Amino acid sequence: MQPIISVQGLSKVYGSGFQALTDVSLDINPGEIFALLGPNGAGKTTLISIICGIVNPTSGRVLADGHDIVKEYRAARQKIGLVPQELAVNIFETVWSTVRFSRGLFGKPPNDAFLEQLLKDLSLWDKKDSRIMALSGGMKRRVLIAKALAYEPRILFLDEPTAGVDVELRRDMWRMIRQLRDSGVTIILTTHYIEEAEDMADRVGVIQRGEIILVDEKAALMQKLGQKQLTLQLSESLDQVPTALPAEQTTLSDDGYQLTYTYDAQGDPVAVARLLRQLAELNIDYRDLHTSQSSLEDIFVSLVEERA
Ligand SMILES: Nc1ncnc2c1ncn2[C@@H]1O[C@H](COP(=O)(O)OP(=O)(O)OP(=O)(O)O)[C@@H](O)[C@H]1O
């Protein structure tokens, strides 16, 4: 499959001498939702800004739908919609003129019916004649999305789309992102809400200190790196973890009734059977048990800590 975005050996050294990206290579598949995760200052915005032609790379190149983002800027850029973190519009303009202007900017013929539907989908239609300065923060966010979608891009970048928005708007945004994906738009987003990446993304990339340290299918990532936990509710309380049990993997709750065993389901397929046999040998009875998988957040934190 031909990637819709191909990032090849990208590095960025800012004028200050700060190296924000080091040899980043990354392919984005058409039609996927790709989540880029990374701590503050990792280089997410820098990477997105280079792909969108806002910041020049120091070396390396980016192809958007086969077009070089530097040499064929217009052809590449009209494929890409960007919803930036911060408001980047003329606040004295009305909503309607802002989205109309944005559509024209990348050479799309006017289509007021399309824009009307877009504003209706984003619950902005009744604000179409309002100046942007008179809108609430959430509405301004919606305007940024409308602006990015006004020229029907095939690729949509969302930089921290749900940072600082209320629960309702967040839910609306995710619903819209899913609809866009279903209509064939490729979505690349950065987020600090890992549970949202977990919920939404097909693939996840982790960036740290300007380097991509991991890219994988979300499901495979969670399976590969995810530790599982087995929690047992004991019939009688224990004073301490029995010495016969693996000390590093086993913990006991303060009241002595809950034993938690952490194991690697991939690396050790008989881990649970072994533990339960050991408990039987020790005459430890339990009333209930359940297993749970590490979240993407756990995986992310452990990866970043590992590299720190
Ligand atoms: N114009 C600039 N000049 C110099 N350094 C910059 C510039 N823009 C960003 N940086 C530095 O590059 C690094 C990466 O910044 P970037 O904004 O890409 O990170 P980020 O992953 O998007 O962070 P956050 O999650 O906080 O938005 C930071 O250390 C930042 O200070």
- For residue range 111-154, what is the model confidence (pLDDT) as tens digits? 999 999 999 988 899 999 999 999 988 888 889 999 999 999 99
Provide φ and ψ at 69, rounded to 5°: -65, -20
Query: Starting at the edge strand that comes first in sequence, how are the strands of the sheet with 67-68 ordered?
Result: 19-28, 5-13, 59-64, 67-68
Would you give the distance in Å from CA 199 to the centre of its chain? 9
Q: Which residue has the higher pLDDT, 166 or 231?
A: 231
Rounded distance between C-alpha atoms, residue 126 and residue 123, angstroms: 7
Q: Are residues 165 and 236 in the same domain?
A: no
The dihedral formed by the CA atoms of 82, 86, 88 and 94, expressed in degrees to the nearest 10: 100
Which atom in ligand 1 lies closest to the alpha carbon of residue 85? 27
**Does 21 contact ligand 1 (Cβ within 6 A)?**
no
Q: Are residues 14 and 163 in the same domain?
A: yes
Q: Are residues 115 and 10 in the same domain?
A: yes
Q: Are residues 48 and 100 in the same domain?
A: yes
Q: Are residues 31 and 153 in the same domain?
A: yes
Provide the domain limits for residue 236. Answer: 227-294
- Protein residue closest via CA to atom 28 of ligand 1: 41
Supply 88's token pair: 């980047």
**Does 12 contact ligand 1 (Cβ within 6 A)?**
no
CA nearest neighbour of 51 among 167, 260, 207:
207
**Does 86 contact ligand 1 (Cβ within 6 A)?**
no
Supply 192's token pair: 């600090």
Tell me, in angstroms, the distance from the centre of ligand 1 to residue 16's CA: 12
What is the DSSP secondary-structure string of 77-144? HTTEEEE-SS--S-TTSBHHHHHHHHHHHTTPPP-HHHHHHHHHHTT-GGGTTSBGGGS-HHHHHHHH
ipTM of this predicted complex?
Answer: 0.95
Mean pLDDT of 70-91: 87
Query: Would residue 33 count as lying in a domain?
Result: yes
- Protein residue closest via CA to atom 16 of ligand 1: 43
Write out pLDDT tens, residues 94-110: 999 999 999 998 878 99
- Protein residue closest via CA to atom 26 of ligand 1: 40
